[in-house]
Structures are given as C-alpha cells and as structure tokens.
Amino acid sequence: MGRISFSCLLPASWHFSLPTPVLPRTLVPFVRLLLLIGLVIGFLGLIYLLLMAGKAHASWVIKDNRFHRHLARVTELDATDTSDPDLNYGLVVDCGSSGSRVFVYCWPQHNGNPHELLDIRQMRDQNRKPVVMKIKPGISALATTPQKASDHIYPLLNFAAQHIPKNKHQETPLYILCTAGMRILPESQQEALLEDLRTDIPVHFNFLFSDSHVEVISGKQEGVYAWIGINFVLGRFNHVNDEDGEDAVAVNIPGGDQQEARMRKMTAGVLDMGGVSTQIAYEVPQTVSFASPQQEEVAKNLLAEFNLGCDAHRTEHVYRVYVSTFLGFGGNAARQRYEESLIQNTATRNKLLGQQVGLTADSPLLDPCLPTDLEDAIGPDTQTLYLRGTGDFDRCRQILHPFLNRTTESQSSLSGVFQPTIDYNHSQFFGFSEFYYCMEDVLRMGGDYNASTYRQAAKSYCATQWKTLRERFDSGLFASHADLHRLKYQCFKSAWMYEVLHSGFSFPTNYKNLKTALLVYDKEVQWTLGAILYRTRFLPLRDIQLETLKGFHTHWRHRFSFVNNHYLFLACFLVVFLSILLYVLRLRRIHRRAAQHCTPSSVPWLEAGMGSPTIPITL
C-alpha cells in the first residue's frame, strides 16, 4: 500500500505517514484485466438471455401476427380419446326417407392457422368402429302424428350422449337435417314435425341446440354438403403452396376482383346416381356467362357461392359450386320409365297393326337392354308384357337416348337444365353409387374409368347368354353383394350410365379423370360431414382468438418467469461490476487530490523566484 508523506508541510520532528489507497502501478494491468473479464462475462450473459428467451418460445409459431400451437390431428382409425380435454364434438342427424341416422364427429382445437379448416373426423368407439346409429322408419312416416317426432329421435341422441363426455354436452352442437322424405310432405306437416323437435329436445338433452339447428334442407344443400365432404377428405381445401402444385387451377373468386385469378388446389367434382335420382356437383372456377336472361334466372337456383373459411373477409375458401339433382334419372327410376314406355308403345302398336306381340311368353317382345335370351315379365297382372333379351348394348343406348330429354340449347344437360361449361382438361370427377356398381359388381372394373374399355366390357356382358351368366353367378365370379336383380338389369344400367355421362352431361369419351368409387380413402363419406364442416365454419375464429390470447399470456408468463430466474443474476453481476468500477475511479480521484497538496510550488526557494540551490558534488 502506498503512503502520502506530510513532511513537506510539518516540522521535521513531527514526521509521520498514513496509509492511503493509492493504486500501485503494478496492479493497473490486473484491474484492466478484471474489467475486460467483466465485460466478457456481461456479453456472454446477454447471449445466454437471448437463447433462453428463444427457448421459451420454441413451441410457438407466429403467422399473420397470431400465435399458433401445433396440435396433433385426430387419427382416422384409432379409437377416439375421450379423455382429451381439447377434443370437441358435434352431432348430425340425417332424417332420410327410409330412416334416420346419427353421426358423431370430433375434432381437436383449431391449430390457429386461418388458412386451414377444422380437422373434423368421425368419432370411433373403443372397437375403432364409427359411432353411427340408424333407426327405421323415416321421420316423414310420422306426418300424421307429429307429436311423436322427438320420441323417434330420442334413441339416436341417447346413443350419442353415451359416447360424448358429459362435461362436453353443453358445447356440442346438434343439427337435425331432413332430406327427401320430408321434402315431399306439405309445408304444414313439415313444420309440425320440426316444431315438436325444437320444443322437446332441449328439455331432455343439454346439447348446443337452437331452432335453426333443425330444418328440411334442399337437394341443392345436400349436394353442396356432399361436395364439401368429399373434397375435405381428399385434402382439396388445404391451400398451402397451392401455386406450386401440379393440380393448381386458376380461380376467379366470387365477389372478388374478376380481373385477377387466384391459383389454388383443384377440387373434385361429384357424380352420384342412386335408384331414384342422379346428381352432379362441381366447382365453377371461372365467371359464368349466360345465353339468355331466363337461363341466368335458372342458374341462380343451381349455383351456390359460399365461404368455408372462419373469416368472412378472407377469400381463399370462397367457392362457386354448381349442383343439380335430376329426379327420375336414377337407375331404377329410369328402368321403370323405360318399362312403362315399352308397355304403352307395344299396346299402341299391337292395336294399330292387329298384333299380339308381348302378350304371351311364346311371342315375347324383344328387348335389347336385357342379356341374351333372358325372359322377363313386366307390368301389372292385367297388362303383363313378356320380354326376351337380345343383349344389344349399342341398340339399347339408342333407345334410351330420348329418355335424357336433351334440348338443343347451349350449356344444358338432362331435361335441358342449365349446366356451366366444364374444363375437361383441368378437372377431376368421382362417381358414386350406380356409377361404381355398374362398373364393379359384375364387370369388376371399378376405379379409373375408361369409356372404350367400359363400353366393350358392357357390350360383351349384354351379348352373353343368360344361362352362362347364371352359371358364373352360381360359381361366385361376381361381387359378393351382387344379386339376381343386378344380374338381370346390368345391361340396361350399363347403357343408362353411359348415356347419362356422355350424352347427358356431355363428358367426352376420351375423358381420363373420372374415378368410380364406393369409399374415399377406405371409408364412406356422407354429406353429413360436409354439413358439419359448413355449419361449424366460424368456430375456428373463436379458437384463433383464444389461441392468440393464450399465446400472449404464455409469452408474458415465460417472460416473468425468466426475470425471476435470470435477471436477478444479471442485476447482481452489474452491481458488483459497477462497484468495482466506482471504487477504482474513487482511488484515482483521491490520488490526484493528494498529489496537488505536495506540488513543488510549496518550496520556499521557488516562491522567492530564486534558482535551484547548488547541489554539492563530491569528487
């Protein structure tokens, strides 16, 4: 420790010295090194803080200024984990003409990405079977006793309630949607049945249910729901990197800037031929033009424009879909119309020509739409017409062509109904029900449709002797669910399907993008899936908002936790560092003041202006 000498100010007899914290020159490098180490430690501490902050937010992704948590998708085939508190549920009751079915759906909390829809899947029980229940008859059978409507539905809702956690009932939406069977009833009977459901169901069940959740839907709505369900399962509503996909198409968004087309994933069209009706539904990506004001008015009832997204201001999930249902154009209904025509025309011809064709089994009417040598009898007992098949596929097609009721008007299909132009080079269709059965049950060629191959197979089947077909049937060469009815009328239905597709809907015979199927990804896709997707489309917005709040809450919670654990260390380090720095500065100040008190100006000979005294030199 250095000393300050006061001998220059005091008499010689009073010489003494005091210790002072003057920093020796030998310690200066050490202090500098200490300061450098402190700065390095502070810099490393700052980096540590940044890394810890990044780690605290590693589980969050920020998109569109929102926080998004990556959530696991609901598995398709595993049993539903009802213990998951983040799982949501929904019910759709399909009240059809022959019976009513309840479908239970589930989905995890929305992942917060406004570009994506809810990940809705059919709920599966502990045996991994879809949670579905069906009862008969249809609710329309209660038209004269509407007070029994709710009693009819109770078994379905009790079944669903047993599979959904009780604490989730209050937030589980319930939709009761009635279809064809109810549509044919008078409006007063419809309303009486619906009112009984609206009144009684909330008394016995705690599901999220309002008056608007029960209604009779139109054929157009049902078609739109079916289109939504199929395209959802196919993943066509996932618009991530759409512009880079090979299946992207240019779409003029309805209600948007018609001058700019948006590239997004191509959706699939739907063809469905049942026993009574045939339906077609597909997206119309471009602006539609009309040949006449009358055609435009008709088109308003056939075109549906809707937004599947959770935000009405976003347009990426806005679709324009054409849907048309043709009653009487299903496979069985068409056969019935055909037989009625045969009976009427044969009776007229026999009367004019004085013939007895078809009145006995010995003089049957030759029918090219039945397999060769198949004998059949149609009509009532009082007017039975006997038929014998000739198995002529092409002749059958010619006879069936007038039953399409085509007109010469442009942009029209069956019965002259308006049909927007289809871009066959940039489209894809899926054919269900009779489109699949006609190809698979007997011909065993379901899947990708090839008109030439199909026509040749159907032509060969029709020309085959009925005896041979029966032998093949008895040998189990056809599909397991194919029966004698299918065997008898396969020739007719093959020709009818071909004509509807190519002459009715005007699909070219070289069209390669039609796939007939019974299932999509190994599961049956009902229109009810599209219904709940559409009716819960605003729920993701709620989850996004909650996720955003949760994200910021988690952000600040991590931040304050980080303060408590790490900022305290940094604060202590800074206090110690500043204390050392201030102490060193204080030492330097004290040293300067002491030096000023012992300056040479206090020596008498300097103050007198005299020169330096002579210093004796010893030689």
d(CA 122, CA 525): 10
Question: Residue 166: CB partners within 8 Å, gap ≥ 6?
Answer: none
pLDDT given at position 552: 39
- pLDDT of residue 546 exceeding 80, the answer is no
Among 23-32, 156-165, 438-447, where is mean pLDDT lowest?
23-32
Tell me which H or E stretch contains 429: strand 429-433
Name the domain count of the chain: 3
| pLDDT band, very low/low/confident/very high, at 601 (cuts 50, 70, 90) | very low
**Is residue 418 in some structural domain?**
no
Q: What is the CATH number of the domain that holds 115?
A: 3.30.420.40
Same domain, 557 and 497: no
Dihedral of alpha carbons 486, 488, 494, 496, sign: negative
Same domain, 137 and 204: yes
Write the CA distances from 213 to 190, 201, 219, 249, 349, integer angstroms: 15, 11, 17, 35, 55
Q: What residues make up the domain containing 199?
A: 72-217
pLDDT digits (tens, 9 = 90+) for 184-208: 999 999 999 999 999 999 999 999 9
List residues with catalytic annotation.
222
The annotated binding site is made up of 275-279
pLDDT given at position 296: 84
| pLDDT band, very low/low/confident/very high, at 576 (cuts 50, 70, 90) | low
**Is residue 234 in some structural domain?**
no
Tokens 């600040």, residue located: 556
Same domain, 80 and 47: no
Asked which of 189, 217, 245 is the last residue of a domain, the reply is: 217
The annotated binding site for ATP is made up of 275-279
pLDDT given at position 169: 97
pLDDT digits (tens, 9 = 90+) for 553-573: 444 344 444 444 455 556 656
Which of 91-100, 106-115, 520-529 shows the highest mean pLDDT?
A: 91-100
| Model pTM score | 0.74
**Is residue 574 in some structural domain?**
yes
Q: What are phi and psi of 269, to 5 degrees?
A: -85, 165
**Is residue 275 in some structural domain?**
no
Same domain, 48 and 105: no
Same domain, 102 and 30: no
pLDDT given at position 380: 87
**Is residue 334 in some structural domain?**
yes
- pLDDT of residue 480 exceeding 70, the answer is yes
Residue type present at position 479: A
Instruction: Please indicate whether residue 490 or residue 618 has the higher confidence score (pLDDT).
Output: 490
Tokens 């204390």, residue located: 579
| pLDDT band, very low/low/confident/very high, at 70 (cuts 50, 70, 90) | very low
Q: What is the CATH number of the domain that holds 403?
A: 3.30.420.150
The mean per-residue pLDDT over the stretch 273-300 comes to 88
- pLDDT of residue 36 exceeding 80, the answer is no
**Is residue 516 in some structural domain?**
no
Same domain, 503 and 376: yes
Same domain, 94 and 34: no
- pLDDT of residue 297 exceeding 60, the answer is yes
d(CA 351, CA 353): 6
